[in-house]
Amino acid sequence: MSVLLVYICVFVAVTAMVGAIGMLFVPTTESGIEDRLAMLTGSSSGKQAKDALLKASVLSQPLEGGQHMFAAYLSRLKNFNLLFEQADTKLKPPQFLGITAGMAVLGMFVPVFAGMHPTIIIPCGLMLALLPLAWLMLRRRSRLRKFAAQLPDALELISRALRAGHSLGSGFSLVAEEMRPPISKEFQRTFEEQNLGVSLEDALQSFTDRMPNLDLRFFATAVVLQRQTGGDLAEILDKIGYLVRERFKIFGTVQALTGEGRLSGIVLLALPPALFLAVYKLNPDYVMPLFTDPMGRQMLMGGVVMQLLGAIVIKKIISIKV
């Protein structure tokens, strides 16, 4: 039990250290709020007000983020609360961290009661601790896909409302009433923000932050530019909707052509862990040298690293940007 206590203490210490480091990266919004209050009260100069508006403007953000995969994941972890909004879950970060810690402790106790080798305790704890995060990311990914599929219909609905003489806000309200979640909920929130006095540009900026979709950024940029320079917004929305539908057609073709590669990647990545579990179930002594022998641990670590590199290479091959 002393070894188990050491493992638990190490896990708690590492978790606390990661949480403390993560808190350092959480962006604070107090400076932005202070700049806006100073601008409204007239205590800031014109240049400072202009710089503050440009920094928060949707036009200052690139339409297509050129971040690499690791930079994108790091940016998500920096704003941890935004992940819960994008996943549309009622869980709060403290509750989520509590569930993660509970799963980690459960994963460390199960091997002890099952009589497994002590070296499996830490890997089992880490695997179960990652399950809540995997669930959150899968829920977020599924919601973003549903939103992307609904966006062309929403743009056409707004375009028809504009041609019928309604305002843009009425078009947002129509999408919230006529369409299903998640797009109805997001447009309803944007519509309510405008009713509460938030400017359209700020509401669209918040919208694009909650839903990181490239086509939505096109829509937000088109709306802001149209309000500043003029033009037929209904025609612009029709063209954006047409482009989105054509992109979906090309994306479906690419998915069909890369289906074999994705299936091969899943099989190749799942085969070593599945084979290890099967051999461990049939003959545990055969695989124990991987944990007890120094050469075996080096081979195991090398295999894990090669698996991760293989997963990255396969993902790069089958990921074709549309």
The first and second tokens of residue 79, run together, are 């704003």
Task: Report pLDDT digits (tens) over 113-142.
Answer: 766 666 677 777 788 888 888 888 899 989
The DSSP secondary-structure symbol of 32 reads H
How much is the pLDDT for 52? 47
Please spell the DSSP secondary structure of 105-161, one letter per residue: HHHHHHHHHTT--GGGHHHHHHHHHHHHHHHHHHHHHHHHHHHHHHHHHHHHHHHHH
Sign of CA dihedral 82, 83, 89, 91: negative
Q: Which amino acid is at 25?
A: F
Tens place of pLDDT per residue across the chain (322 aa): 455 555 565 555 556 554 554 454 444 444 444 555 454 445 444 445 445 444 445 555 555 544 444 445 444 555 677 888 888 888 888 888 888 888 888 877 777 776 666 667 777 778 888 888 888 889 998 999 899 889 888 888 998 888 888 888 888 888 989 889 889 999 999 999 888 888 888 888 888 888 888 888 888 888 888 888 877 888 888 888 888 888 888 888 888 888 888 888 888 888 888 888 888 888 888 888 888 888 888 888 888 888 888 888 888 887 777 6
Neighbours of 58 (CB within 10 A): 22
Tell me the pTM. Answer: 0.64
Nearest in space to 110 (alpha carbons), one of 98, 97, 123: 123
How much is the pLDDT for 32? 47
How much is the pLDDT for 30? 43
DSSP H helical segments within the chain, as ranges? Answer: 2-24, 30-41, 46-56, 69-78, 80-87, 93-113, 121-163, 168-178, 183-195, 200-210, 214-229, 233-257, 259-282, 284-287, 289-292, 294-318
Give the three-state DSSP class for 1.
coil
How far is 243 from 16, CA to CA, in rounded Å?
A: 47
Q: Are 221 and 63 in contact (CB under 8 A)?
A: yes
How much is the pLDDT for 295? 87
How much is the pLDDT for 62? 55
How far is 82 from 88, CA to CA, in rounded Å?
A: 10
Task: Report pLDDT digits (tens) over 162-193.
Answer: 888 888 888 888 898 988 988 999 999 999 98
The DSSP secondary-structure symbol of 42 reads T
Q: Which amino acid is at 41?
A: T
The first and second tokens of residue 41, run together, are 């009260």
